[in-house]
Amino acid sequence: MKALKQFNWRLTFILDILAIIMLVSGGTNLFFAVVLTEGALWMVRLLWLSPAMLSYILRRLAQMVPIVLAVLALGFALIQLAPGDMFSQMELDPAISRDQLEMFRRQFRLDQPWYAQFFQYIWNALQGDFGFSRTYRAPVFAIVGQRAWNTILLSLTSLVFAWVLSIPMGVFAATNQYNWKDQFVSIFAFFGLAIPNFFLAFLLLYLISSTGNWLPLGGMTSVGFRNMTATQQFFDVLRHMIVPVVVIGTSVMATLTRVMRGEMLKIMNEQYVTTARAKGQTENKVVYMHALRNAINPMITLLGFQLGNVMSGAALVEIVVAWPGLGSVLLEAVLSQDLYLVVGSLVYGVVLLVIGNLLADIALALVDPRVRIS
């Protein structure tokens, strides 16, 4: 135990880096393996560093269960309320006999009373099986799984993009309060807030297409994607991501910049900032070390909410730039009344959101000693 204590736990981050390398080189196939490894790794770290936090996380995960169940119930109610079932359309198809349909229905237990169906639905859903998509003629899980990963990739990249830009912009605006530099950043932020995402996406696409198509206009991969090397694939996806990331990122950045500016202004008035100056510290260190470190905390709390924003924002943009994510699937599914697919996508979205919030809370705990040590 003592050897454990002396060991610098930060060294375990090497394992995380390895995991990310695996993910990048191995591609999406290894995604779930990597997620599981990371999850296990953090559990061990927490057990070791802060058992209280581990129990907190487990409790939070347990609290997720009723939320997910409620979403499932809602989804199920939607399906039940809609007239007919997923085989109703096939009844018009003369090629399919009534016996065959009955067989299908028995297979999917549609002949049973609603409560039996509900428990069956939950049981299946818990195993990741959200039913069968009529339009794709494939299990919902198979469709949504890949799409969800694409959406996560897009959302997280947008968030990182927004964060990396909004923090320095917020600090810049705060330290130049009320002069033209601050005004400029504010105007930029309000522009980002005001302009609708899809419109900005169209605008960018128009600009790119009218200046010589120097960026791909849609999709996630180029035509010859399968024949590329891993590095080429990586950069290909990256090129495709630029437009949607800029579009989604801009709207998030606007909010974050305003929040960051406000927080910085508040913190710069705190007594400990004056203390730092009274020590003879340079202004740069006062701003970037003493003030910024404190202003970041509320931003991390926001991260959880932003994830929801970003994902719903992504849904629209995905449709415009033909990004194969949850958003475009959801739209298609709604248009074609493919209810199992709709519910499946919704549940995926909700689960991701809840986990995102939890991760933000944990991150806050890690950076704030007041939360970490108690």
Residue partners of 166: CB distance under 8 A and separation at least 6: 252, 253, 256, 257, 260
Q: Does the footprint of another protein cover residue 243 (CB under 8 A)? A: no
CB 158 within 8 A of CB 244: yes
Q: Does the footprint of another protein cover residue 181 (CB under 8 A)? A: no
Q: Does the footprint of another protein cover residue 50 (CB under 8 A)? A: yes
Query: Site map for another protein, 290-329, x if CB under 8 A?
Result: x--xx-----------------------------------
Q: Does the footprint of another protein cover residue 112 (CB under 8 A)? A: no
In angstroms, the CA 319 to CA 205 distance is 13
- To another protein, the closest distance from the beta carbon of 371 in angstroms equals 5
Within residues 261-290, the interface with another protein by CB under 8 A covers: 270-272, 274-282, 290
In this chain, which stretch among 4-12, 34-42, 47-55, 87-95 interacts with another protein, using CB under 8 A?
Answer: 47-55
- To another protein, the closest distance from the beta carbon of 71 in angstroms equals 24
- To another protein, the closest distance from the beta carbon of 262 in angstroms equals 18
- To another protein, the closest distance from the beta carbon of 282 in angstroms equals 7
In angstroms, the CA 299 to CA 334 distance is 34
Identity of the residue, 335 or 373, whose beta carbon is nearer to another protein in the bound complex: 373
Number of residues that bind another protein (CB under 8 A): 29
In this chain, which stretch among 45-53, 67-75, 208-216, 247-255 interacts with another protein, using CB under 8 A?
Answer: 45-53
CB 263 within 8 A of CB 172: no
Binds another protein by CB under 8 A, chosen from 9, 59, 74, 207:
59
- To another protein, the closest distance from the beta carbon of 13 in angstroms equals 20
One-letter amino acid for residue 86 of the chain: M
- To another protein, the closest distance from the beta carbon of 266 in angstroms equals 12
If one counts every other C-beta atom within 10 angstroms of the C-beta of residue 226, the result is: 7
The torsion angles phi and psi of 133, rounded to 5 degrees, stand at: -80, 130
Q: Does the footprint of another protein cover residue 183 (CB under 8 A)? A: no
Q: Does the footprint of another protein cover residue 53 (CB under 8 A)? A: yes
- To another protein, the closest distance from the beta carbon of 110 in angstroms equals 42
- To another protein, the closest distance from the beta carbon of 276 in angstroms equals 7
Identity of the residue, 237 or 358, whose beta carbon is nearer to another protein in the bound complex: 358
- To another protein, the closest distance from the beta carbon of 5 in angstroms equals 14
- To another protein, the closest distance from the beta carbon of 348 in angstroms equals 28
Tokens at residue 264, please?
């910085």
Identity of the residue, 56 or 234, whose beta carbon is nearer to another protein in the bound complex: 56
Among 316, 323, 19, which Cα is nearest to 146's?
Answer: 323
Identity of the residue, 59 or 109, whose beta carbon is nearer to another protein in the bound complex: 59
Q: Does the footprint of another protein cover residue 365 (CB under 8 A)? A: yes
Among 296, 266, 230, which Cα is nearest to 27's?
Answer: 230
Our measurement of the distance from residue 245's CA atom to the centroid of its chain's CA atoms, rounded to an integer in Å, reads 12
Our measurement of the distance from residue 148's CA atom to the centroid of its chain's CA atoms, rounded to an integer in Å, reads 9
Binds another protein by CB under 8 A, chosen from 56, 104, 136, 305:
56
Where does this chain bind another protein (CB under 8 A)? 50, 52-53, 55-56, 59, 270-272, 274-282, 290, 293-294, 365, 367-371, 373-374
